[in-house]
Amino acid sequence: MKLKFTFPSKNRHRTSTSASVTSPPPPPPPPPLESSLRNPFEPDINPPPRNYLEEIVNKRRRIEENQDESLLHGFELQQHVATILQSNDLSSLQEVIDEYANSKDESLFTIFKSFAHHYPNAFALKLAKLLEFQPPIQTRIETVNHLLQVLPEGINGPFNSIILLELKNPLLHSLKAESEEILFLSLCEAIGLLADRFYRCSLGGWVELLEYVLACFSSEVQSENKKGLLLLTVIPVDVANERAFWLNQGNFDLVFGSILEWTYRDKELKGLAYNASISLMLLSQELKRTDVCDFLLPNLLSIIDEHGEEEVLVDRVKRLGDLVTLDDDGKIFAGVHREVFWCMIRAVEIEAASEEVMCEAIVVIKEFDTVDVETMESVIGNLSLEEVKRVFAVAMKMLSCVIDDPLWYDVDDKNCTEAGFSDAFHRGQFLFNFLSLDGDEYVFVPTAIGMITTKYASNVDWRLRHAAMLAIASIAEKNLNEMDMMLYFNEVAILVLKSLDEPNHRVLWATMHAVKCLSECKELLMRSQYHKKFLEKLVPVIRCNSCARVQVEAIDTLKSFAVSMQEIFRQNHYDTTMEALKAILSNKYSLPKLLLCAKCQECMVYLVRKVGPDDFKEQEAVQVVESLISLDGKLSNTEYLTKCIILKALDQICQCPKVSVDKFIDKIMPMLIACAQPLLDLTGEETNDDSLSNEDKRLVETMRARACNTLSHCAVRSSINFSPHIAKVTPMFIRLLGCSSSEIRKASILGLPKLLLSAILGDKSNDTKRDTTFIIVQALTQVLKTETDRDLSTLVLRLLGRCIETSSTFFTDQLIKIVTDEINDTIRRIIKFEIEKAQESGRRIIIEKAQEVGTSEDVFRSLSVQETIEEVVNLTATAIHTFEDQLMVPVNDLMSNVSVFLAHDKPDRVIAFAISIFNVILPLYPDKLPP
């Protein structure tokens, strides 16, 4: 703390020598010493002295805290470094390796890991030297394993180039001398890693390695052929930089010919030749020799069709998928998409095909669809009837890859949604959607429904019945919206109606999805009165089923009917549904799940508002709100889905015109504020938070936006009781304007004018009203400077006009200037955009005419800008009519800016915009007309 001293002035008063002049009174005594807060920005304050010893200790402590505890560090490692790495011979290293080979002592393995991490250069060189002396086979195996650990270390960092050069000969010599096939693969992988380092570091390539690869392919010895194939598989594609070696001497053709022969005739080399073929095709892409793919690809597909052992088949399909991904220009697979597609389908059709095989096969098809959409659409669209049956059967086989996981039933566990659904199931969904969207629906729909009816819907296996209902849901959603599908709709409706009696909870849950999708086909449902039959069965499911997951899905399904058929639902099913929902909440013998409670409450509120009388009895509304608050209190901070449902119900109640929000506003404010500012900060860090899944992040955004919307409604409907909270809610809304979520930004933008209205109506202090007006309006003008979403910018312009209408009395001169300056800036931005767009259109007009392309995107952009222009004009008019006498200087600036754009050489839209601004200004300021 700096002490402040006060001293008397140094300039003493002059006294007259005349005796007649009295002396001035003595100065007052100095005030007592008193302390004041130090200004941290005061330049004359010296920083505290540094304690270097303490800094060193703290630095060491931080280093130790961040160290990998599975490794040795510092002095603990140094003794092993001195004994093993710094010794002049290799015997100590060999002894340790042999000891580890025999004992598998974890402490020794820790030493090796620590060497690889801290001393990769020295350790790698020692290992390579030891390997060159051809120690016993067990030692060689362990040595190569350690090399495979150390060579990837610091793959993006500097591995000493001198060490890299010294590693070349020992490793290549070791491979040449190696006769044990068990070591071929690992040695080649080590050499492949080293070669990758060479080409990354631009050390001049490794021609000796390529020459040895060629020698292996030319050899009559099969073990050498194997080495050559393995090396070709692992060396980086960067070896294509040696174009002269591959092309000028015919070496590429020699390798190609050998691989082609071995894939045809040599059973023992076929597997290695398959992997080498993949590498050769990637190499051909770089060397512009993709003509060889026309011969190699059919061989690869034939090898896959042999199927063989599962592990081998999975590896081969994976490698093919990698090749699809790396085929940048599409030349490798040109013209063979159909052949590859059917090869993958055949792999899945194997009766004993594992889920891994099925997944990898469909991944290849999916990669094809990503790389070349049009070609794959053509493949699917031209399937014959029998081919559609085969592909549909494969999709259903994969959709049945589900297990009855107990977690699936726990709706309050956020992981329940994916419980029991395998990767194969999700791949099956892709294949099914691929078939239903891109296939010929007049072939697909009758074929699929026929197969579902005869083979799947009544199958003994619940997983196939489950797949059947999900398939029907997909068909209903994507293929049954047209009236010419009426015949097939009847068949589907009969199947689904029957499935509503399904005893298996998983199948009944899937049936709800099908019913929900069918509810979208309103005309088709009503034509045969299916809607009544569905509703008659849905209400008992909600009330009596013992599975909460099924009940939750049934509630959502019933709501979809209530939305599409409000009058019918109100007359025939409203009362029974409300009774069923109340029965769940009041069940004394079985405590319902929290999510189910929230769903019931939200559905009841929704039905009252949207289908029923849109009215709550006063005490009834309070009871529902208290129930929702109590339910929220039982949730953890991470149960975002249930919180979103509660907020949705609460928002509906707060919007109900006959409900008095004053009765419960103080009770709901803590919950709303907590939900609007959860622990997760979405203003910039949300994408870096690995603790949340993408779904959780989406739910958090929805929760926050709904809380903001509900707060906004409360601010308007209970302005007097809400006003004490404005000081806390306003800064929170302003902070959310910088959020990365457009949904949250929109909720905040819409909410701020409502907070302002609440302050104007509910606060008695004019100073508070003036301050709130300044803060909110200034925040909205700042949004215009930073917002990248044009729709939100347009919304801000509209709301600024409302703020002026609401609280013009409390606008200070400074705030008026802020608004008018922003109007000026916005006009400049619009005009600049219009001029640039006109120039761009002029450059593109010839291309568009030649290609006859539509300009829907340009039309959309023009419409969006037109809305912005209209709002700028409206805001300008509102400001001028409201602050007429205070806008003399701003109007001068505005007129001078706009008049420039009336020149004949400006685009028509710019001139029209400028004229619209003039039409607003001139009636009130006729003297501002430019000469």
pLDDT by residue (tens digit) across 59-101? 656 655 555 555 665 556 787 788 888 877 888 888 889 988 8
User: Residues 555-607: pLDDT tens digits?
Assistant: 998 888 888 888 888 888 888 888 888 888 887 666 678 888 888 888 888 88
CB 637 within 8 A of CB 680: no
Inside any domain, residue 559 = yes
Inside any domain, residue 673 = yes
Residue 431 three-state SS: helix
Residues 574 and 652 in one domain: no
User: Residues 838-877: pLDDT tens digits?
Assistant: 667 655 544 444 444 444 334 334 445 778 778 888 888 8
For residues 477 and 276, give the distance between their C-alpha atoms in angstroms, rounded to a whole number.
45
Best CA proximity match to 802, nearest among 735, 868, 757 = 757
User: Residues 397-408: pLDDT tens digits?
Assistant: 999 999 999 999
Domain count within the chain: 3
Of 718, 735, 752, the residue that ends a domain is: 735
529 is written with which tokens? 């009165």
Residues 921 and 820 in one domain: yes
Residues 604 and 621 in one domain: no
Of 577, 611, 645, the residue that ends a domain is: 611
**Residues in CB range of 739: below 8 A, 6 or more apart:** 682, 683, 704, 745, 748
Inside any domain, residue 761 = no
For residues 397 and 378, give the distance between their C-alpha atoms in angstroms, rounded to a whole number.
24
Inside any domain, residue 884 = yes
**CA 528 to each of CA 440, 494, 500, 562: distance values in angstroms, whole numbers, following the listed order:** 27, 11, 18, 18
CB 409 within 8 A of CB 416: yes
Inside any domain, residue 851 = no
Residues 628 and 707 in one domain: yes
Q: Which of 43-52, 134-143, 266-275 bottoms out in mean pLDDT, i.e. has the lowest?
A: 43-52
**CA 444 to each of CA 282, 378, 382, 459, 900: distance values in angstroms, whole numbers, following the listed order:** 37, 15, 11, 21, 63
The band of 304, judged by pLDDT with boundaries at 50, 70 and 90, is: very high
Tell me the mean pLDDT in the region 607-622: 77
- Helices in 677-789 by DSSP H: which ranges? 694-717, 719-722, 726-736, 742-762, 766-786
Helix or strand (DSSP H, E) at 228: helix 222-234
Residues 724 and 816 in one domain: no
Q: Residue 299 CB: number of other CB atoms within 10 A?
A: 18
Q: What is the pLDDT of residue 683?
A: 45
421 - beta bridge partners? 402
Q: Residue 244 CB: number of other CB atoms within 10 A?
A: 9
The band of 17, judged by pLDDT with boundaries at 50, 70 and 90, is: very low
Residues 827 and 909 in one domain: yes
Better pLDDT: 695 or 860: 695
Better pLDDT: 125 or 592: 125
Residues 723 and 661 in one domain: yes
Q: What is the DSSP string of 2-37?
A: -EE-----SSPPP--SSTTSPPPPPPPPPPPPEE--
Residues 639 and 588 in one domain: no
For residues 772 and 765, give the distance between their C-alpha atoms in angstroms, rounded to a whole number.
11
Q: Which of 32-36, 156-160, 926-930 bottoms out in mean pLDDT, i.e. has the lowest?
A: 32-36
389 is written with which tokens? 């049956």
Inside any domain, residue 92 = no
Q: Residue 209 CB: number of other CB atoms within 10 A?
A: 21
Q: What is the pLDDT of residue 208?
A: 92
Best CA proximity match to 359, nearest among 300, 326, 310 = 310
524 is written with which tokens? 């088709």
User: Residues 167-215: pLDDT tens digits?
Assistant: 989 999 999 999 999 999 999 999 999 998 888 887 778 889 999 999 9
Q: What is the pLDDT of residue 481?
A: 63
Residues 579 and 657 in one domain: no
Tell me the mean pLDDT in the region 239-252: 88
Q: What is the pLDDT of residue 37?
A: 37
Residues 826 and 874 in one domain: yes
Q: Which amino acid is at 891?
A: V
**Residues in CB range of 6: below 8 A, 6 or more apart:** 30, 31
Helix or strand (DSSP H, E) at 227: helix 222-234
Percent of the chain topping pLDDT 90: 29
Best CA proximity match to 652, nearest among 693, 713, 562, 700 = 713
The band of 281, judged by pLDDT with boundaries at 50, 70 and 90, is: very high
For residues 647 and 659, give the distance between their C-alpha atoms in angstroms, rounded to a whole number.
16
Residues 631 and 724 in one domain: yes
Q: What is the DSSP string of 881-917?
A: HHSGGG-HHHHHHHHHHHHGGGSTTS-HHHHHHHHHH
How many residues are recorded in the chain? Answer: 931
CB 43 within 8 A of CB 54: no
Tell me the average pLDDT of the chain: 81
Determine the distance from the C-alpha atom of residue 511 to the mean position of all C-alpha atoms in its chain, rounded to a whole number.
30
- 3-4 vs 34-35, strand pairing mode: antiparallel
Inside any domain, residue 360 = no
Q: Which of 8-12, 354-358, 816-820 bottoms out in mean pLDDT, i.e. has the lowest?
A: 8-12
Of 672, 704, 735, the residue that ends a domain is: 735
Q: Which of 520-534, 742-756, 794-808, 846-860 bottoms out in mean pLDDT, i.e. has the lowest?
A: 846-860
The band of 708, judged by pLDDT with boundaries at 50, 70 and 90, is: very high
Tell me the mean pLDDT in the region 305-310: 88
For residues 200 and 852, give the distance between their C-alpha atoms in angstroms, rounded to a whole number.
46
Inside any domain, residue 701 = yes
For residues 269 and 537, give the distance between their C-alpha atoms in angstroms, rounded to a whole number.
63
Better pLDDT: 870 or 429: 429
Q: Which of 318-322, 522-526, 852-856, 910-914 bottoms out in mean pLDDT, i.e. has the lowest?
A: 852-856
For residues 204 and 207, give the distance between their C-alpha atoms in angstroms, rounded to a whole number.
9
Q: What is the DSSP string of 121-153?
A: HHHHHHHHHHHHT---HHHHHHHHHHHHHHTTT
Residues 666 and 725 in one domain: yes
Q: How many helices (H) and strands (E) does the chain have?
A: 43, 2
Domain that holds residue 708: 615-683+691-735
